[in-house]
Structure 1
Amino acid sequence: MSRSTRLFEIVQLLRAADRPLTARRIAALLEVSLRTVYRDIAALQAMRVPVDGQAGVGYLLRPGFEVPPLNLSPEEVEAIMVGLALLGRTGDSALQRAAVGAGAKIAAAVSRDAGSEAAVPALYASGWNALPRAPTDLAVLRDAIREARKLGVVYTDAAGRRSERTVRPLALLFYIESVVLAAWCELRSDFRHFRADRILACCGLEERFLREAPALRRRWQDCQPT
């Protein structure tokens, strides 16, 4: 992630937060060191971005600060709205709620920038051909991926064999027929893919793998067929 992208992401995180964000939390979300966060916060403050707070307490963005518009093309807006609508298939209620909110923000931004006549595709979160319902909340999986937190899972394979595993979650894959968790499995000492509808139970563990996560994710991506 480039420095300019990282500065933008920090501003976005602070804008979305309803309470001060600690440097440690920002570092975890962006997968960078605390020292990097402190330098980036200082850089933003030097650019007169209204970031208040201090190390060890937390940071917040004073109200009224706006970032420049994204200037999306009509096709880019439509691509985003189609992608948001397809979330209706996943059964992930938290993502569906977020999709509706994101769609409304995009529509408002486009209308504000292009005038009231701007056409934004309506967001219909259809459940047509819905994916198999997962016994566990997909938000738990997404949170663990975002926080680089190990998961304890109870899994049953296609033959009905049940196992308990500790995994390092790396990505969620949304296929036509299922949602799949890509992870490093400590039982097998290798990458494994777990269908979400076969994860009978899971819980976030205290242990995290922040430092290993980027390298693990790159290795997993290198193993994927092109």
Structure 2
Amino acid sequence: MRKASRLFEIIQILRLARKPMTAAVMAETLEVTVRSIYRDIAALQAMRVPIEGGRGIGYIMRPGFDLPPLMFSIEEMEAIVLSLALLERTADEELKQAARRVNRKISGAVPAPLRQAMDNKALYAWGSIAQPAGFDLAIVRRAIRDERKLMLGYRDELGRASERTIRPVALIYYSQTANIVAWCELRQAIRNFRSDRVERCATAEDFFKGDGDRLRELWTSGWTEKPVAV
């Protein structure tokens, strides 16, 4: 187990302990040496984690201490790093900016051993980058949250233009484009709309409050079938 993950696990053990925990017991639980536990306890105390006790009597966490909200294991931190890198490959500019802010906030809040997982540039998201859509994908995400209808000017794969009023329920990000999953009022069915074929996108005055979950269930119930192209 890596040191950053071990520090996290020691904090978890001591937070849940009802009596002092000896280094030997923690070493057995984490499958490391007792000497490693002593070094880790000293490192945590240096980071002002309120651990009290000593060799021979055990250690306990002072009451009232809780983990900061940005305390992750090393594997969780690597998952965050890769997720943020994948967002950089989408065409959603608002989400890309948000990902950069998240990166800065986490880097400034986590302990130094975890910060290295964000700064060592060892994980990459490779492949093609999605082309920018002709409209702001943030409009779609807000409409999904607000359960508000959208009006689309849409052109299908054969180049045929149509006007659609849709009830958006999900947004799927692919490497080349994004798909809007929605109930199409023209077709009276769930349809997928490629963002690179959307010529106009605007919010409508009408809402579909309380119907989003039902439409998502309708969509997922058809996953065993081939998606219908529009």
Is the pair's TM-score, using the shorter chain for normalization, greater than 0.5?
yes
Deviation at 1:221, TM superposition (A): 1.6
Residues 143 and 203, structure 2, Cα contact 8 Å, conserved in 1: yes
Deviation at 1:68, TM superposition (A): 4.7
The match for 2:104 is 104
SS in 2 for 1:85: helix
Task: Return the alpha-carbon distance in structure 1 between the equivalents of residues 126 and 81 of structure 2.
Answer: 15
SS in 2 for 1:119: helix
1:199-222 deviation per Cα after TM superposition (whole angstroms, max 9, x unaligned): 100100111112111111122122
Q: Residue 180 of structure 2 aligns to which amino acid in structure 1?
A: L
Matches within 5 A, 1:40-119: 68-69=68-69, 71-111=71-111, 115=112, 118-119=115-116
Deviation at 1:117, TM superposition (A): 7.0
Q: Residue 209 of structure 1 aligns to which amino acid in structure 2?
A: F
The match for 1:159 is 158
TM-score normalised according to structure 2 size: 0.62
TM-score normalised according to structure 1 size: 0.63
Matching of residue 213 in structure 1 with residue 209 in structure 2: no
Residues 96 and 125, structure 1, Cα contact 8 Å, conserved in 2: no
1:33-55 deviation per Cα after TM superposition (whole angstroms, max 9, x unaligned): xxxxxxxxxxxxxxxxxxxxxxx
Task: Return the alpha-carbon distance in structure 2 between the equivalents of residues 117 and 212 of structure 1.
Answer: 42
Matching of residue 169 in structure 1 with residue 161 in structure 2: no
1:117–1:130: structure 2 CA closer, same or farther, 3 Å change rule? closer
Q: Residue 118 of structure 2 aligns to which amino acid in structure 1?
A: P
Q: Which runs of 5+ in 1 are unaligned?
A: 1-65
Residues 82 and 124, structure 2, Cα contact 8 Å, conserved in 1: no
Deviation at 1:139, TM superposition (A): 0.9
The match for 1:142 is 141
Task: Return the alpha-carbon distance in structure 2 between the equivalents of residues 118 and 87 of structure 1.
Answer: 20
SS in 2 for 1:129: coil
Task: Return the alpha-carbon distance in structure 2 between the equivalents of residues 157 and 81 of structure 1.
Answer: 36
Residues 153 and 201, structure 2, Cα contact 8 Å, conserved in 1: yes
1:105–1:216: structure 2 CA closer, same or farther, 3 Å change rule? same
The match for 1:193 is 192
**Comparing 148-157 and 78-87, the one that deviates more:** 78-87
Q: How many aligned positions are there?
A: 158
